[in-house]
């Protein structure tokens, strides 16, 4: 039997997974990511997740670049988020996000496309919701082209 590069057998059943099977797999991976965090960090990341979900209720959860993420507009990457040793990150800080949020987002920009919130301070969830809304508008405009 043929095998995928990672060793899993390649057959009709693994090659043609349904959307529901893929979505369940992604949700399990998100839950596993969250379960691996220390309790205090998990609580903050859960709040971040709920904030994103509330701002983009139609978006689907997935894993992207080994981080929890959301996709919208036919599977386009919306945002991802993660907990690190000294901060929490939200990706991406696109040009549209930076232009729309200006001075409000500026203190949190770290490198190209990264929004970084210090772990020692509360995450400004209203700002996170605004980032998600701008990204939704950005993806909507792209999809309309």
Kindly report the average pLDDT of the chain as a whole number: 84
Is the confidence at residue 8, as pLDDT, over 90? no
Segment 55-67 mean pLDDT: 93
What is the pLDDT at residue 27? 65
Residue 65 predicted with pLDDT over 90: no
* CATH architecture, domain 13-144: Alpha-Beta Complex (3.90)
Q: How much is the average pLDDT of 93-101? A: 94
What pLDDT is attached to residue 15? 40
**Long-range contacts formed by 133-136: CB under 8 A, 24+ apart:** 133/55, 133/56, 134/94, 134/96, 134/97, 134/100, 134/101, 135/78, 135/79, 135/92, 135/94, 135/96, 135/97, 136/55, 136/56, 136/72, 136/73, 136/78
């Amino acid at each position: 039997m043929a095998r995928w590069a990672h060793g899993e057998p390649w057959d009709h059943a693994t090659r043609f997974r349904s959307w529901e099977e893929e979505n369940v797999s992604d949700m399990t991976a998100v839950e596993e990511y969250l379960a691996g965090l220390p309790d205090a960090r998990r609580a903050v990341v859960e709040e971040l997740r709920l904030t994103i979900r509330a701002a983009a209720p139609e978006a689907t959860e997935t894993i992207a670049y080994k981080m929890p993420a959301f996709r919208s507009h036919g599977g386009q990457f919306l945002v991802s988020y993660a907990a690190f040793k000294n901060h929490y990150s939200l990706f991406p800080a696109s040009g549209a996000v930076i232009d729309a949020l200006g001075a409000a987002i500026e203190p949190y920009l770290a490198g190209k496309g990264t929004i970084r919130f210090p772990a020692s301070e509360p995450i400004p969830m209203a700002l996170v919701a605004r980032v998600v809304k701008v990204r939704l508008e950005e993806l909507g405009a792209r999809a309309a082209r």
